[in-house]
């Protein structure tokens, strides 16, 4: 296996609308579009998987400002792209552009994976299932059995809340800075949450503001906290939940991944809670994308090693 890793060469070039034509050749392509995109780790582990499996595709990153989205997609449709991943800020625009939304995209609302079948685009969203696999792997727990507090109600927060509701989690609390967004999401999900388990006086689905006191009032009836806000992306960010609120029985999953430990993970670790970073979600959503494109099981350990080494 060591030798195989010496063979793969990730193309670290950031392609743009102007330079995409440099890729026009017979080489089958895969890629990721976003803005910014320079720091994306997807080429690293997707190329390792493709090379390990002896596949010919080259996985590239493409920087796409919002005003160039349609032009880039038109161009990629006509190039030998088997498919691509979509990251911030294009998941919603991609959902509006695909020819067919698959079940996962209909459930989660955005599209993070496209399969290009001769110019006909099928849209999927592997973030929800990727997160579910990551939680199971990190904590040996299933979403279905958990009382979950989701911090954030943007694209990722809403997607994971919808996945948790579809999995009939035991309880769902959504905390957001703009509380109205959390309220309309909770309203949307109320109907689909059918748990018959006793909740006492606690609401099955609830929206709260993203503030320590509101969170403190819920924490006794929560098992898993998931951060989907962008707080923690920058090293200077503070923790949105003080250490004193976090209890040792909690599992804390931060969807952010990067070089440094996020303040939330640090507080949770210091409080004795179990923690995991978003790297495992990145890995599992990517593995599911790979399976959509290739129809083959993803070489998950190869991908993990490429991502973490
Ligand atoms: P988004 O749609 O822009 O949503 C951002 C969320 O963060 C919103 O809930 C927003 O609240 C909140 N927020 C932003 N700045 C804030 C502040 N200063 N104080 C309090 N809340 C703030 O972004 P997204 O697509 O959901 O992505 C969010 C994060 O998810 C990203 O940082 C990314 O790292 C992570 N993510 C990870 C993976 C993975 O594979 N690990 C996959 C997808 C996303 P308002 O509604 O009040 O604006």
Confidence category of residue 259, pLDDT binned at 50, 70, 90: confident
CB-ligand 1 contact for 156 (6 Å cutoff): yes
- How many other C-beta atoms are found inside a 10 Å radius of the C-beta of residue 275? 23
- What confidence category does residue 3 fall into, taking pLDDT thresholds of 50, 70 and 90? very low
34 ligand 1 Cβ < 6 A: no
Q: Active site residue: 41, 91, 101, 206, which one?
A: 91
Residue 2 pLDDT class (50, 70, 90 cuts): very low
Active site residue 91: yes
Q: Which atom of ligand 1 is nearest to the CA of 151?
A: 9
Question: What is the Å distance from ligand 1's center to 232 Cα?
Answer: 10
Alpha-carbon distances, residue 173 vs 14, 17, 66, 304 (angstroms):
39, 41, 32, 31
Does the reported pTM lie above 0.75? Answer: yes
- What pLDDT band is residue 163 in, cutting at 50, 70 and 90? very high
Side-chain-side CA neighbours of residue 226 (13 Å): 32
pLDDT per residue over 35-74, tens digit each? 999 999 999 999 999 999 999 999 999 999 999 999 999 9
- Quick one: which atom of ligand 1 is closest to the CA of 159? 26
Confidence of residue 200 (pLDDT cuts 50, 70, 90): low
Query: For ligand 1, atom 36, which residue shows the shortest CA distance?
Result: 255
- pLDDT per residue over 31-41, tens digit each? 999 999 999 99
Q: How much is the average pLDDT of 116-129?
A: 97
| Mean per-residue pLDDT, 90-101 | 98
Task: Name the DSSP letter for residue 238.
Answer: P
Ligand 1 pocket, 157 CB below 6 A? Answer: yes
């Amino acid at each position: 296996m060591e030798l195989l890793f010496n063979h793969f060469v990730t193309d670290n070039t950031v392609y743009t609308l102007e330079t995409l034509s440099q890729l026009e050749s017979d080489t089958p392509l895969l890629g990721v579009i976003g803005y910014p995109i320079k720091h994306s780790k997807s080429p690293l582990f997707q190329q390792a998987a493709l090379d390990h499996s002896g596949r010919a595709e080259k996985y590239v990153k493409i920087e796409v400002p919002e005003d160039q989205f349609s032009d880039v997609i038109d161009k990629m449709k006509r190039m030998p792209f088997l498919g691509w991943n979509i990251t911030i800020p294009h998941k919603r625009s991609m959902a509006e552009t695909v020819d067919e939304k698959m079940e996962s995209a209909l459930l989660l609302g955005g599209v993070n994976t496209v399969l290009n079948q001769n110019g006909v685009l099928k849209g999927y969203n592997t973030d929800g299932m990727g997160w579910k696999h990551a939680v199971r792997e990190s904590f040996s727990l299933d979403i279905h059995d958990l009382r979950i507090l989701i911090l954030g109600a943007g694209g990722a927060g809403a997607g994971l809340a919808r996945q948790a509701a579809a999995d009939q989690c035991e309880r769902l609390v959504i905390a957001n800075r703009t509380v109205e967004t959390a309220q309309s999401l909770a309203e949307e999900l109320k109907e689909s949450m059918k748990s018959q388990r006793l909740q006492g006086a606690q609401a099955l689905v609830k929206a709260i503001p993203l503030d320590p006191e509101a969170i403190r009032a819920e924490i006794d009836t929560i098992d898993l906290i998931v951060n989907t806000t962008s707080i923690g992306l920058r090293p200077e960010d503070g923790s949105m939940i003080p250490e004193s609120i976090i209890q040792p029985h909690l599992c804390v999953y931060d969807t952010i991944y990067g070089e440094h430990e996020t303040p939330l993970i640090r507080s949770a670790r210091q409080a004795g809670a179990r923690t995991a970073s978003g790297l495992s979600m990145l890995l599992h959503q990517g593995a599911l994308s790979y399976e959509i494109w290739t129809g083959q099981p993803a070489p998950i350990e190869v991908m993990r090693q490429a991502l973490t080494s």
